Structure formats: C-alpha cells, structure tokens
Chain A
C-alpha cells in the first residue's frame, strides 16, 4: 500500500464529533422571522418534503459541513503521506555538488545545474516527514557541512539557499568522508549524491553505505580556457600559452582577447569541438611586471561563463642572483658559462642581495644566507645529525631518482666518492621522510642527496663534498648545475609563470605579521595575517576573478581562474568506482520522495469554510 498515516493516534480526535453533534442539536437556534401568514410557506414545505429526497439532508447541512470540516482536520492531524520510494530512510545525508560545472546552464536563459539540484532537494525537504532527518553537505574541491541531521525545514531551506556555485573543480572524496564521519554520530544507511558527475570517476574511498547517485542532465555546449601559462623567450618577451577546450560535439567558435595591464595586446579566434585542444600563443612585453588577462567571447550560447576568463601575473625581467662559495671553483666555473646571472661574491655587482635566488655553499656560516633555492655541499643540517654521520671512506651511488628535476639527464653511475654518510643505528628510511626530506640519491649506507621544501624555500643537501668525488669531472656535472639554475629560475618565477587556479591563492610575500583584507570578486571579504616570514598563504579563492589583498598602504591584485579541463568539458561520470572494487551507477531520474498530504487536507478545510460561508450568505435566488 502506498498510502499511510504518520500519526495514526490522531484519529482519536474524531471523538470530537460527539460533542459537536450534541452541541449542534442543543444549541441549534434558528432565527425567528414573523410572517403575515404561513399559508403559502406551509404548502411550499409540504411540497418540498414530498418531492425532494435531500430535504432532510439539507435541514442539517450545517451539521454535515461541520462534520466534514472535522473529518478533514482529523485527517490532516493524522498526517497522511503518499509513499514515493519503496523504502523510506529515516536519516539521509544529501551531498550537493557546487563545483564550477554546476553553474552551467541547460539552455540560454535557463537554469543552472545547481538550481536544478536545489529544486530536487527542495522537493525532498517539502516531503519531509516528522520522523525523517536530512543533512546537507555541499562539495566542490572541499566539502562543507551545511546542516547536521535535522527535520527543521526552515533551517534546511535556508542552508540550501546559501549554497552557491564555487568556480573550482569538484572532488567527491572529501564529501564522502564527511558523510562517513557524520554516520559515526548518527547512523544512516543511504547517502544521496546530486551532481552533474563532473568529478574523477575513481574514488579512493571505502564505501560503507549505500550511495544513491543522482546525475543531473548534461548542460548545454561550453567553451573555455583550460590552461594559461607563460615562458620567457630568448628576446626577453613573454610567450603566453592559452589552451582552449570545448564540450560540444560540433565546433564552437569564440574570440580570444588578451589584455596586458588592461590594454588589449592581442586578439584571435578559436574554433574547437569536444575532444580536441586548441593551443594559442601570444607574445607580450616582458620589461616590467604585468598582469595578463585572457578573455573568451563565445560566438554562440555558452553554458558556463566562469571559465571564459583567465589571469596570469608576469614578473619583471631580471638577472638571477646567485651566491656561490669561492671554495667551489667547479660550480663557479660552470655558472660563469651561463649568462644572465649576477654571481656573488666576486662578480663585481657592487652590492649584496637581501635574498638570493640560488645559494651554493659548503661553508656552515653561509648557511644563514637567505635564498629561494639552496644547494648545501658536504653539510649535514642540524635536524639530520641525529640520523646520519659522515665518515671518511670510499662510497658510491646505489640508485637515484632520474626523473627529479635536479637529476634529469645526469648520469651518476660509477661515481667515486671519498665521503661515506652512514645512518645511525636507530635511523630508518622513514625517519628522513618524517622530517620532510625526499631522498633523491641513495648511497650504500645512507642517502647521499636530499631535497626539502619549507615554505617558499627549496633546499638540496649533498651529504658528500664534490671536491672529494669525481662528480666535477663527469659530463653530468654541468648538466646538474644547469638543472639547478632552471630550478632556481622557476622558483624565482622569472622563467615561467602559471595562471593561478581558483581554490587557493598562491602564497604572497608581504609584510610580516600584518593583517590583510582580501576582497573577493563577488564582494566577500576575508582577513588573513602574514606569518613571521611575511608569507600570506591559504587564502581561499572560490570564485573566478581578481582578488585584492590590501591593508592601509599595500594593495596587491591577484587573479584566479578555473583552468580545469574536466570542468570546461563538462564531463559527467556515469559511474563511480571505489577502492574496494565497488561501482555505483548514476541515475538520471529524480529520487521519488514521500509526499505529505496534510497541507492539501488543511487547504480543503479552508475551502470548505469558505463554501460554508458562501452557502449561508449567498443572495437568495429570485431576490
């Protein structure tokens, strides 16, 4: 049976019919009207009683209407509902995707995917029965709990209304983990996932509940920018690379406009269809730091607007500041062959940089020199001293990471080393990782080359001295130095620039321990404080556009854009594969929900009252 009552005990309210009937007959007092004569009316009544089968009914129509009204109210109080689903969940977490692709329209002037999802959830909230509880979780690249389990419809509706599209790619795992965490406090069997399916179809998650994956109908055609970066050319200009992709099977065309600091510097047209990638290159000036914005103007309907703009911040052209210890002639000799650098301390620069782009040293005092990228030779950092110890003994490299940027194309086999780092007795491989080190080259008894990133600093530790090895005499040595230079240039941001993605702003170097206001493109404001080194990091950037970071005197503008192939192509996963081999398929039909009927009965009761009022106050016929 698809029909039921939630509060069957409310049927006892029907007992009110007894006093209603009693009071009706006790209190029935008809208005008295004195007439000249009843001669005609008596004949009328006699005739009516004979000919009208409903006369007795009409005599007590007021009682009948009152009983009918009571019946409707009792039925409403019993809270009848119509079963929409075969089984009814008492607690249901609902995961709502609010990533960038959910802002895509189905047609021109139509509804966004998120609006469609909200309508589905709103229907579920409307049909919520008193014993049922919902929890709302929205997710994009991270999940956010909007409500705990509640049956308060007002709270649920307000939370639902607060959900808005964030211009970031989606990641379902975070949302599933949050739902799983909620399940520890309040058990449930099923989770409802409403999304357009634009997330990785593989999830590293052990599913411990039934997942009802409601996939929204695909949005309309879309074209957008999926990548934006720049590389400095030999002439000192910047080559800006923009990647355009589309979601439609048929060709979509758009005009691509490039602006540098607000002035248009290039314009081109793009024509692309699904599965293809169009890369466009624009050459812009690189004399000074500038801000590049690439804007896509589609010729036809474009379902997603947030991926039509991308931003790129280009640093000013400058030489690399390098500090190489004078005790390392091999390194200095190799560096001197590379142009475009200021080599300290003997290069006659005339001044010492506050912070170097590259530091190469084998002296402990010089370890204090500030540099973005550092290579320490034959030096053991303090935190590694409990783990490793250097001995004077012959050694060699057992293995190395050939794909590491520093060691690309560097052959280290048959390298002779007269220093032998040895792990101490209680040191393990994992102990290095726990301290944040990545081992790039292994010796016989301990790591020989380590990498560590701390903040915006990248450090390499060579645990043997190159002067006591054959490394400076190897063909790979200048390659190693060249790799180090490339890494230093990349870290300094003067050789390449990448468009900032939404989600999190890139770390900024500002005044230490000062609080900044970050004005978001849609008007929101957040506050953040720079750390002791002046780094401002972990600033949320959920929307495409320019973010203004400022305090009283300083103002920095940083652009962020979607730059996601999956979001732009509106790819929709038809199924999700979980780590234990489980696969959950998508359903495109909305979940059937229980329909509460009490409000219809209450409306019928109100209508009945109006009918009763009209019936007893209507103008008599023929009057």
Chain B
C-alpha cells in the first residue's frame, strides 16, 4: 500500500498555485523566472506520479524532455536578463516595458 495518487496531484496543484502567485506578484525578473521553474516542476511531479501509478514510461520520458527544455530555457532566459541589465541597469519588470506598445 503506497501513498495514493490524489495526494501527489494535490501537492502538485498547491505548488503550481504558489508558482502562479510568485509570477504575478513579484517584480524581480529573476524571482519571476524561478517561480516559472517551480510551476514546471509541479507539473513534472504530477507526470511522474501518473507514470508510476499507471505503469507507463511515457510520463517519465516526458519529464526527461521537460527537464532538457527547462535547462535550455534557463540558459536563454538568464542571458536575456544579463543583456537587459546591461542596457537598462534594472531587473524590475515594471521598468522593463520597451515591448509595450
């Protein structure tokens, strides 16, 4: 008898909600980026949980690819942060509004 699947799904939903709060309420672009990572991880958790409970490897393979995409996203995202900071001397997303109409 293992921990039931709904426990994992509930935890995953809670972590996702915390990530959403972080993205919407924080103004530091790096903290926003870390909140996005948290949301990615919470979805990974539910994928692994389903994979183990259904006995299907597809979920874990998907998490593997999600990790690779997250690594690529981290590299490009942080490079954008660095070049933004070089141009505007700020990481506050209220002041980074050059793409706004």
Check if A and B associate: no
Binding site for B on A (CB under 8 A): none
